[in-house]
Amino acid sequence: MDEFSPEQQNILSRFCTNVDKTTFGFINLPQVVCGALFSRYSRSTKSARRVLLEEFILNPEMKFDEIVGGGVSSSSSPSQLVATQKAESFYDRVLVGYGDDSVAELGGAHLACEEISNLATKFVQDARIGISPLEKSTRYVFFHQKDSNGNYRFYRGAELANDADYIRTCTMLFDTYVKLQAPLTIYLQKKYPKPNDGTTDRAYESTIKAKVCDLLRGLLPASTLTNTGLYGNGRAFEYLLTRMYSSDLPEMNRLAGDMQTELSKVIPSFVKRANDKHGVGTQEYWKSCRKNAAAESAKLGGSDNGASSNPVVPEVELIEYDERAEQNVCAAILFSSGQFDYASAKNKADSMPDAERLALLTSYVGIRGNRRHKPGRAFEHAHYTFAICGNFGQYRDLQRHRMLTQERQLLTCTWGYDVPKELSEAGLADEFEKAMQEAKVTYAKLLSSRGPALAQFVVPMAYRLRWYFHLSLREAFHLIELRSQPQGHEDYRRVAIKMHDEIKRVHLRLASFMKFVNRENVALERLESEKRIDEKLAKLRK
């Protein structure tokens, strides 16, 4: 282990979580310096602390003092913003010799994007690698708070703000959302009185509120403003920004500019290419590919929005699966669990008797104690393609899965909408449906006046859209078992359960390893979770 003099230890202790162990973290350093440090480290025989000390801190050319401020031995903390700006040229100097694109993964940033439309959040959350988003939930908060001008919070960018139909319809949807809250709450309280089992008022009221939010979210238009927090690495942000700049939606282009400005204060070197000549080149490339593919698709009849065809589409349809899924999974198990070459593992898996194959699968999966006990990567050798037609609320939830391939079509009012059963039972469906019909009329007007991309903003979350999931069996375990849990929204639970049914239909044995698919009917989805929160709160108070 590298040893340092007391003086060196004193300097390093300001930047390292310890100076005498082989595992340590870096502190008080701008993100780009950490990136540059690891970059240099990968081409050096020295320990990371030694690189930091000798090549960065004590190397006058690096002007390290300027970056961290107050001298390396000072405990005063410099402004991170000033430090980051100074670190940029430092980073560039280091990277001249050692850079490759992946170095931008070595620093990250937390970014909050507020008052952005639900379409914008979906765009941002399409990022799969390197970005972790968390978004304001439509289940725990009502979305009808007005802004300082007394307007509901929905997207009012210049390209839509002067459209009277758009403004009127979005306002009407929010008005209906507000109007139905009280009668629906009263109905649910009558239907599900507070249980006499020690359930607290807090747990009960939170549960009813969550249910009201769940049942009414279908009224919220895609223009509804929300907040999302993102943590991501530089490379992922750069890619995301480039995609956003190339979008057909002006909101995305503006948001990309705002995000880049703020990220440049934290990880400037990592995101600067998103809109430089290379970034612009990539944006143009994507735009032209999109345009050309749409033109080719149109030639083949793909621009027909389906209005003339039967709009009754199945919610979940298994489009494609692998007939030889079991054999392929078994070959991967044999390969990774022993010393077979792959071709022999495949031959063995193909020729083994059925009972042996089952024994191999069973031993590989083992005894699963809970849904987090997931089978290994061999289960990524079976694939499924599902076509789904579900409401936008459903999609918003399910889109959050990243270990798969998924793409959606634009939001439209073509495929009908879902009216929650309990809204009908409460006698509130007419009001809801009236709002849906009015939104459809405005959607049609916007479609002809502003085009399909902008027309999406007025589509309420209850309307269905079409998307696909192409996923491995391993991700299917995760998605289906997680999304069938009783505390989830009933709409996405239904999709998860149907996906399980479909896999069971074609691969009964593989599907039987999914032991934690929950098909239980629950009336108050949040109640058990809320009761558990009460128990935890009581323990904390002790």
Ligand X SMILES: Cc1cc2nc3c(=O)[nH]c(=O)nc-3n(C[C@H](O)[C@H](O)[C@H](O)COP(=O)(O)OP(=O)(O)OC[C@H]3O[C@@H](n4cnc5c(N)ncnc54)[C@H](O)[C@@H]3O)c2cc1C
In the complex, what is the shortest distance from the CB of residue 141 to ligand X, in angstroms, rounded to a whole number? 9
For residue 73, which of 140, 6, 135 has the smallest C-alpha distance? 6
Q: Give 394-445 as a 3 state SS string.
A: HHHHHCCCCCCEEEECCCCCCCCECCCHHHHHCCCHHHHHHHHHHHHHHHHH
Q: What is the number of other CB atoms lying within 10 angstroms of the CB of residue 261?
A: 10
Taking contact as CB under 6 A, which single stretch among the options 133-141, 219-227, 294-302, 495-503 is the one that binds ligand X?
133-141
CB nearer ligand X, residue 231 or residue 286: 231
Taking contact as CB under 6 A, which single stretch among the options 131-139, 211-219, 361-369, 496-504 is the one that binds ligand X?
131-139
- One of 81, 134, 161, 294 touching ligand X (CB under 6 A): 134
DSSP-derived 3-state class of residue 47: coil
Distance in angstroms (rounded) separating the CA atoms of residues 388 and 316: 5
In the complex, what is the shortest distance from the CB of residue 401 to ligand X, in angstroms, rounded to a whole number? 3
For residue 59, which of 37, 39, 80 has the smallest C-alpha distance? 37
Distance in angstroms (rounded) separating the CA atoms of residues 352 and 298: 48
Distance in angstroms (rounded) separating the CA atoms of residues 263 and 286: 23
In the complex, what is the shortest distance from the CB of residue 67 to ligand X, in angstroms, rounded to a whole number? 29
**What is the per-residue binding string for ligand X in 389-428, x denoting contact by CB under 6 A?**
-----------xxxx-------------------------
The tokens describing 449, both together, are 């006046």
312-331 positions binding ligand X, by CB under 6 A:
none
Sequence-distant (≥ 6) Cβ neighbours of residue 182 within 8 angstroms: none
In the complex, what is the shortest distance from the CB of residue 342 to ligand X, in angstroms, rounded to a whole number? 25
| Angle made by CA atoms 523, 527, 531, in degrees to the nearest 5 | 155
Helices (H), 99-132: 118-125
For residue 479, which of 460, 497, 458, 464 has the smallest C-alpha distance? 497
CB nearer ligand X, residue 400 or residue 504: 400
- One of 55, 88, 135, 438 touching ligand X (CB under 6 A): 135
Taking contact as CB under 6 A, which single stretch among the options 129-137, 217-225, 282-290, 303-311 is the one that binds ligand X?
129-137
205-244 positions binding ligand X, by CB under 6 A:
none
- With CB under 6 A, what is the number of residues at the site for ligand X? 12
In the complex, what is the shortest distance from the CB of residue 528 to ligand X, in angstroms, rounded to a whole number? 12
**What is the per-residue binding string for ligand X in 482-521, x denoting contact by CB under 6 A?**
x----xx---------------------------------
The answer to whether residue 348 forms part of the interface with ligand X (CB under 6 A) is no
CB nearer ligand X, residue 466 or residue 478: 478
Binding residues (CB under 6 A) for ligand X: these are: 132, 134-135, 137, 400-403, 478, 482, 487-488
